[in-house]
Amino acid sequence: MELYQITLTCGACDAETKGVLSPHVRELQCANCGAPVAKIKPFEGVVYVMSNPNIPGFVKVGMTTKDVYERAKQLSQTGVPGSYQVDAVFPSHRPKNDEAKAHAKLARFKANKEHFSLSTAVAIVKVRSALGGREPAFIREIWRDEVAEMVEKNRVETLLKLGKAPAEEAS
Ligand SMILES: [Zn+2]
């Protein structure tokens, strides 16, 4: 059972309040004035990006409503040499839907059901984009900079494209 202590400043009375949140205790009231100060909503599951150093150039994108690291372990026992590592994890309230969105975005890189032929960092950026720019809850350190750079580049390109439209209209 996961238990978290959370410390918050009450917006109503300014008192600092401490409480425990868990999948079973999802709301917290201020100990001083009783105002609601926190609410949690557990995610149904995750969409993940995984890779296996023994299958270079390919990534696996899928979803699970269970522990993503257990899933990686399972996949590593399916006769493929080496083990899968979790590269990025996106929290999801509708994992099946979000997985479908991610797979649609990656369709042209598809190698088989859940494997895609592209670099891990590009896959992470594309899944992020398929999920409307959702930030991953976890991303492996080695991908962080590359992903952040690509996201920024895409953002600037989108702005330039948007800026270009009125200029063309004017000419
Ligand atoms: Zn209060």
Ligand 1 center–CA 28 separation, angstroms: 11
Quick check: 96 pLDDT over 60?
yes
With a pLDDT cut of 90, the percent of the chain lying above it is 67
Please state which of the ranges 7-21, 48-62, 152-166 shows the lowest mean pLDDT: 152-166
Determine whether 45 is exposed, middle or buried from the number of CB atoms within 10 Å of its CB (0-12, 13-18, 19+).
buried
Q: How confident is the model at residue 165 (pLDDT cuts 50, 70, 90)?
A: low
Q: Would you state the pLDDT for residue 170?
A: 46
Between 1 and 31, the higher pLDDT residue: 31
- The secondary structure of residue 107, as a DSSP letter, is G
Per this entry, what is the length of the chain?
171
Q: What is the mean pLDDT of the chain?
A: 90
List, as ranges, residues with CB under 5 A of the ion ligand 1: 10, 12-13, 15, 30, 32-33, 35
Quick check: 171 pLDDT over 50?
no
Ligand 1 center–CA 30 separation, angstroms: 5
Dump pLDDT digits (tens) for 63-88: 999 999 999 998 888 777 779 999 99
Please state which of the ranges 19-23, 46-50, 145-149, 155-159 shows the lowest mean pLDDT: 19-23
Task: Give the separation between CA 140 and CA 122, rounded to whole angstroms.
Answer: 13
Mean pLDDT of the region 15-42: 89
Task: Give the separation between CA 26 and CA 45, rounded to whole angstroms.
Answer: 17
Q: Cα angle vertex 41, ends 40, 46, to 5°?
A: 130
Quick check: 126 pLDDT over 90?
yes
Ligand 1 center–CA 55 separation, angstroms: 54
Q: Would you state the pLDDT for residue 21?
A: 81
Q: Would you state the pLDDT for residue 114?
A: 82
Residues 6+ apart with CB under 8 A from 69: 86
